[in-house]
Amino acid sequence: MKELNELSFPDDVRYAESHEWARSEGDRVKVGITDYAQDQLGDIVFVELPEVGDTFDKGEEFGTVESVKAVSELYLPVAGEVVAVNSSLEDSPEKVNNAPYGDGWMIEVKADNPSELDGLMSKEAYLETLKG
């Protein structure tokens, strides 16, 4: 596993305590897991995602990510309706390891209340929790 200073934490996403990130893109919010999360999990072999049209509350489980070590639940940082899922992860789950904030994104939701993003952590605040 890498040191914190070897991991990347971009400024343009907001962070959840459960290690998901959320990025505002127009009226949509893109969601994935952080570089820290993928590094902790190790090689990711399977990502189970919801279907377009499913709706979830803030903090509700929307899928699972399975690595060679463990299976972890994915929690939605903002309430909303799923409008897109990254189906390329079905065949290439390693994208989550290689580009957690890019090609390794998981779902896009239409947020019920976009201001929920403000309640998530900034990069600095998230890093503080990781230093613990």
Partner 1 sequence: MTRMRYLPHTPEDIVAMLKAVGLDSLEGLFAHIPEDCRRREVLDIPEHLTEWELNDHMDMLAGSMAVSPEYKVFVGAGSYEHHVPSAVSFLLGRSEFVTAYTPYQPEVSQGTLQAIYEYQTLTARLLGMEVANASQYDGASALAEAMLMAIRVSRQKTVAVSRAVHPLYRRVLQTYFEPTGLEIRELPYLDDGTTDLRPLKDMDDLGGVAVQSPNFFGCIENLEDIKQTLQNTKALLVACFTEPLAYGLYKNPGQCGADIACGEGQSLGIPRSFGGPALGMFASKMKYVRNMPGRLVGQTVDLEGKRGHVLTLSTREQHIRREKATSNICTNHSLCALAAVMYMATLGGSGFRELAQLNYDRSEYLKSALARAGFKLPFSRATFNEFVVEFPAGFQKTYQRLLKKKMIAGLPLETYYPELKNHHLLCVTETITRADMDALAREIKK
Residue count, binding to partner 1 (CB under 8 A): 6
Pick from 73, 87, 88, 130: which binds partner 1 (CB under 8 A)? 73
Q: Which stretch binds partner 1 (CB under 8 A): 18-26, 70-78, 97-105, 122-130?
A: 70-78
Pick from 24, 39, 48, 84: which binds partner 1 (CB under 8 A)? 48
Residue with Cβ nearer partner 1 (46 or 125): 46
Residue 125 found at the interface with partner 1 (CB under 8 A)? no
3-state secondary structure of 122: coil
Closest of 20, 28, 22 to residue 82, by C-alpha: 28
**Residue 77 to residue 29: CA distance in whole angstroms:** 10
Residues in the chain: 132
Q: Are 7 and 45 in contact (CB under 8 A)?
A: no
**Residue 39 to residue 3: CA distance in whole angstroms:** 10
Pick from 8, 46, 124, 125: which binds partner 1 (CB under 8 A)? 46
Closest of 83, 75, 74 to residue 112, by C-alpha: 83
Residue with Cβ nearer partner 1 (6 or 91): 91
Pick from 4, 52, 70, 130: which binds partner 1 (CB under 8 A)? 70
Residue ranges that bind partner 1, judged by CB under 8 A: 46, 48, 66, 70-71, 73
